Each structure stands twice: as C-alpha cells, then as structure tokens.
Amino acid sequence: MPVIERKRKIGEFAFKKIEEIKDKGFAGEYKSYARSLPSMIINNGLGNALAFELSKSKDKSNNLTAHGYLLRHIREFANGYLDFKGGGASSDQDVLYSEKEFVRRIMGLDMQSYMFWTEQILLFLDWLRKFADGMIEKNESGD
C-alpha cells in the first residue's frame, strides 16, 4: 500500500475512534491524554508510556478510564489496522490481545520492530490528536 494511502487509512481509523468517545463524560480527559502521550513516548520510550497508560486504565470500580480507552484504541490500531501479532504464531492470532498482553508484547520486541511500532503509534496519535482537537468540545471535563 502506498505511503499516502496508508496514512489516509490511519487517519480514517483515528476519526472513527474519536467519533466513538466524543460525547462521553471523559472526552476532555481523553483529548488531553491524546495530546500529551506522544511527548511521553518520545521522552520515555513506547514501552514506558504504554505501561503508564495501562496503570491508569481502570478506576477503583474497575471501569475503563480515559487512559484505558486511549490504550484500547492504540491496541485496536495495532491489532486491526497493522496486524500486530508480536511473534509466537498460532491459529487464533486474529483474536485481539488484551491491553496487558499488548503492552507485554511491545516490551518483548526486538529493537528494529520496537522502533517501527513507535513510529506507527506516533503517527496514529498525531491523527488522533488532530481529530480530538477538532471534534471534542473545549468545555468537556479535563480540558
């Protein structure tokens, strides 16, 4: 697939993810986290940033938080759009990995694959941030 087409598809996927959450009560928080996560990845590495998102993904009642939705959207992007399999091929690889398993597999990648995934996830987050800025109202919580 040509690079321009791939970037357009990533943008289309990001648009759908923002559409899913734009009217939820935590949309403002999600927007804030989507804006700050790329710098966290650049400063601390993809694994550390995803581990942070995982640690904040559920509240005390075990409900998914804005961090949890952001991590889920990253996992769905990697699993669905880019077909992240993370090694260890099996016949049921098309089943989406849980967020915890996704982070574990990212941490276990060789350096070349880790850098590839860092670049792809940053590209996805750039689209996500742009759509969040345009589609989530400023008066939502967390903004």
Using N-to-C axis directions, what is the helix angle for 66-76 and 111-135, rounded to 10°?
Answer: 120
Please name the fold of domain 3-135.
Peroxidase; domain 1 (1.10.520)
Other beta carbons less than 10 A from residue 100's beta carbon: 13
- pTM of structure: 0.85
Distance separating the N- and C-terminal Cα atoms of the chain? 37
Q: What is the pLDDT along the chain (143 residues), one digit of tens a residue?
A: 677 888 899 999 999 999 999 999 999 999 999 999 999 999 999 999 999 999 999 999 988 999 999 999 999 999 876 666 654 434 333 344 688 888 998 999 999 999 999 999 999 999 999 999 999 987 545 44
Query: φ, ψ for residue 85 (rounded to 5)?
Result: -115, -25
Q: What is the domain partition of the chain in residue ranges?
A: 3-135
